[in-house]
């Protein structure tokens, strides 16, 4: 590993390697070593994310909505109420102010529906050709609202795994917007801030939540199961999928489990509450198509398996390369 590769930014195994072997060699704060998407500091949650999506505008959203939703969701999945956002713009010389305003408007709207306050910011301009229009960093502060807060150490065999709707929409939306593959599907990105949905789950035995962005649900489920004393089993016929996404995956050879989502949350909950959580999701606009997709098992410790038929299953690995770069 002597040069940065696109796969280092893919959110899969290469990203994990870069963080563990290089970044954590220098930054070894115990909070950082947790490798959560946010740090928990007493009652506060603190998180950061940079957005470099290409193209900036895609069916169903744009980089502005993405930048607010991504950070709001990283806070929300910690069981924390999003309070404050910072915004850092890196803009290319010559970028159209009109496009900038469209992005600002999307951010404003997403922040209002979260709701979260944008309280501090920074703007840098780089020469033409030194960025791809605009990059946005958002960092966020939230306060823990769930008691007890969710955490991977609370997961036990018998817990159920849920997701709030169809997977892969964001990745396929961005991909089709690039027009590289001559796809004429119109898949809308699922990008959305999720706190208004997640907030309603506070009364139930939620063990763990995570938004399956880069690396998809395969990455999140492997982070859950990895090195632990249980396995995670998911069921193919329960996965919420759409025909358009499956169609694109078949044509291009993508694994739908690796595709990024930007308005989805994986919830691990006690079996007794799983049906109630499903009902809440189904009754919320952000949970249309929600499903119980699997369970935590005693067997296959440390592994994620996909049950394809009653008799057959395969191991689900995290992505090792970068399927679709610049997805968020």
Burial class (CB in 10 A: 0-12, 13-18, 19+), 66: buried
Stretch that binds a copy of itself, among 48-56, 189-197, 288-296, 298-306 (CB under 8 A): 48-56
**Residue 12's Cα: distance from chain center in Å?**
12
Single residue of 122, 186, 237, 250 touching a copy of itself by CB under 8 A: 122
Rank residues 105 and 298 by Cβ distance to a copy of itself and give the closer one.
105
Number of neighbouring beta carbons within 10 Å of residue 125: 13
H/E element, 309: none
Q: Does 87 bind a copy of itself (CB under 8 A)?
A: yes
φ/ψ bin of 35: left (φ > 0), alpha (ψ from -120 to 50), beta (otherwise): left
Determine the 3-state secondary structure of 326 from DSSP.
Answer: coil
Stretch that binds a copy of itself, among 47-55, 181-189, 203-211, 287-295 (CB under 8 A): 47-55
Stretch that binds a copy of itself, among 49-57, 156-164, 195-203, 237-245 (CB under 8 A): 49-57
Rank residues 138 and 164 by Cβ distance to a copy of itself and give the closer one.
138
Q: Does 289 bind a copy of itself (CB under 8 A)?
A: no
Q: Does 89 bind a copy of itself (CB under 8 A)?
A: yes
Q: Does 130 bind a copy of itself (CB under 8 A)?
A: yes
Rank residues 91 and 304 by Cβ distance to a copy of itself and give the closer one.
91
Distance CA 255, CA 252 (A): 9
Determine the 3-state secondary structure of 173 from DSSP.
Answer: helix
Rank residues 52 and 177 by Cβ distance to a copy of itself and give the closer one.
52
Determine the 3-state secondary structure of 247 from DSSP.
Answer: helix
Look up residue 131 and give its DSSP letter: S
Of 57, 58, 86, which is closest to residue 71 (Cα–Cα)? 86
Give the shortest CB-210-to-a copy of itself separation in angstroms.
15
Rank residues 111 and 206 by Cβ distance to a copy of itself and give the closer one.
111
Q: Which of residues 251-280 bind a copy of itself (CB under 8 A)?
A: none
Q: Does 124 bind a copy of itself (CB under 8 A)?
A: yes
């Amino acid at each position: 590993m002597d040069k940065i590769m696109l796969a280092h930014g893919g959110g899969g195994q290469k990203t994990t390697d870069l963080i563990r072997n290089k970044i954590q060699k220098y930054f070894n704060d115990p909070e950082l070593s947790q490798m959560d998407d946010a740090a928990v500091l007493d009652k506060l949650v603190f998180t950061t994310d940079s957005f470099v999506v290409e193209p900036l505008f895609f069916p169903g959203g744009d980089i502005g909505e993405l930048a607010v939703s991504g950070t709001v969701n990283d806070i929300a999945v910690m069981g924390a109420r999003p309070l404050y956002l910072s915004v850092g713009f890196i803009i290319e010389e010559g970028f159209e102010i009109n496009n900038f305003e469209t992005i600002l408007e999307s951010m404003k709207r997403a922040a209002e529906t979260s709701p979260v306050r944008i309280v501090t910011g920074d703007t840098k301009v780089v020469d033409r050709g030194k960025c791809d229009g605009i990059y946005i960093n958002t960092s966020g502060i939230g306060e823990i609202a769930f008691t007890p807060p969710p955490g991977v150490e609370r997961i036990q065999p018998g817990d159920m795994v849920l997701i709030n709707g169809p997977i892969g929409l964001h990745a396929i939306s961005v991909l089709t917007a690039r027009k590289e593959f001559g796809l004429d599907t119109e898949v809308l990105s699922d990008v959305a801030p999720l706190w208004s949905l997640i907030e309603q789950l506070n009364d139930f035995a939620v063990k763990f939540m995570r938004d399956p962005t880069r690396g998809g649900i395969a990455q999140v489920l492997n982070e859950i199961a990895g090195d632990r004393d249980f396995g995670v089993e998911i069921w193919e016929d329960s996965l919420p999928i759409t025909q358009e996404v499956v169609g694109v995956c078949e044509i291009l050879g993508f694994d739908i489990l690796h595709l990024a989502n930007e308005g989805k949350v994986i919830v691990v909950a006690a079996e007794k509450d799983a049906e109630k959580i499903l009902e809440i999701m189904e009754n919320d606009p952000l949970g249309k198509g929600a499903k119980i997709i699997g369970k935590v098992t005693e067997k296959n410790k440390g592994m994620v398996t996909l049950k394809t038929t009653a008799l057959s299953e395969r191991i689900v690995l995290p992505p090792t390369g970068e399927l679709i770069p610049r997805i968020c």
